[in-house]
A = this chain, B = another copy of it.
Amino acid sequence: MSEFDFDLDSIINTIKSKNYKTIGLQFPEGFKRKAVNIAKELENKTGASIIISGNPCFGACDIDTALAGKVEIMFHFGHSKMGKFNNVVFIEARSNADVLLCIKTALPLLKTRKLGLITTVQHIHKLGEVTKLLRENGFEAIPGKGDRRVSYPGQVLGCNFTAAHVDCEEYLYIGSGFFHPLGVAIATGKKVIAADPYMNTAEVVSHEKFLRKRSGYIAKAMNGKIFGIIVSTKSGQNRIELANRLAGIAKKHAKQVHLIMMDLVTPDQLLAFKVDAYVNTACPRITIDDAERFHVPILTPQEFEIVIGERKWDDLKMDEILENDVHE
């Protein structure tokens, strides 16, 4: 049994019951190594023709619409549903990791009775047992509802922390990595305790170092004259209206701005353009995670508003993509 399991039987049933003959499969990078074996099993058991997507994929916002347009049905693995597609089925990945141990580690760090409970989709099925354990220890855990970009109460994405809009004074995050809890800390201004089920650790997330680093990029971009505003054509990342609004404001402030539209946003691909800084309206994680790999500063929309004098430093917000932000 691997750490993640997919429900292939239900896929086979869907294909057989609808008699689909042409099937697309899309996997995010972490699951691509399973692609050939899954394709072989589905082909053997259904007789359908299968095409695997070879394109990079980093989220449910990143549907291979070209492949989906060439097959009767496409199965997208590893993410919960986002967006409206006629023939895309989302096959979520559920982690088998035990989450209760790290919650026990987190207990001494929890200071208030009412907690906002947040996690990523691969642990979402464990929230019931987590809530029970917390209740036994005197805590009330509340998973917030979130907007239409997320599928489950308590689910956060790298670009969406709306499930953290609950009445509480601190948050408990279950999952690996610091991006999501950091995002919640900045988006809400409240204390976040991150519990990692893989390392069985728990700690309070600090966002001061992060904000210092971002302030450095903002300050450096202040000297810029030419800005490239990046717009992604990916299914769940296209914020062209936001880009146009930023371009309009920037021109009033006598900045030279250019809209650059692309699919995958990479530091390599943006080396070629002669600009002083980029503003990224595509995936907000790129702005943060890849910041050091760009040859010029790359800013969030909110950071760019500070640069051009339309927002105060104290009003710096986390960049999120909300349910009505995406151009479809």
Contacts and interface: CB of A to CB of B under 8 A. Distances in A.
A260 B40 contact: no
A230 interface: yes
Given A50-B259, A261-B54, A262-B53, A66 B233 contact: yes
Contacts of A260: 51-54
Given A263-B55, A263-B66, A258 B32 contact: no
B273 A70 contact: no
Contact of A265 (B54, B64, B262): B54
A314 to B, nearest CB: 33
A270 B39 contact: no
A261 B67 contact: yes
Interface in A254-279: 256, 258-265, 269-270, 272-275
A29 interface: yes
A50 B52 CA distance: 35
A256 B44 CA distance: 11
A134 B263 CA distance: 48
A56 B55 CA distance: 14
Given A33-B274, A70-B261, A226-B36, A269 B56 contact: yes
A54 B269 contact: yes
Interface residues of A, number: 42
A205 to B, nearest CB: 31
Contacts of A2: none
Contacts of A66: 233, 261, 263
Nearest to A54: B262
Contact of A273 (B49, B52, B263, B272): B52
A55 B262 CA distance: 5
Given A52-B258, A54-B269, A55-B269, A37 B263 contact: no
Nearest to A39: B258
B272 A51 contact: no
A187 interface: no
B54 A270 contact: yes
B272 A32 contact: yes
Nearest to A30: B272
Contacts of A67: 233, 261
Most buried by B among A29, A233, A275: A233
A263 B263 contact: yes
A94 B302 CA distance: 43
A120 B226 CA distance: 35
A168 interface: no
A256 B56 contact: no
A89 interface: no
13 contacts: A24-B261, A32-B272, A32-B273, A36-B228, A36-B258, A37-B274, A40-B256, A51-B259, A53-B262, A66-B261, A66-B263, A67-B261, A70-B240
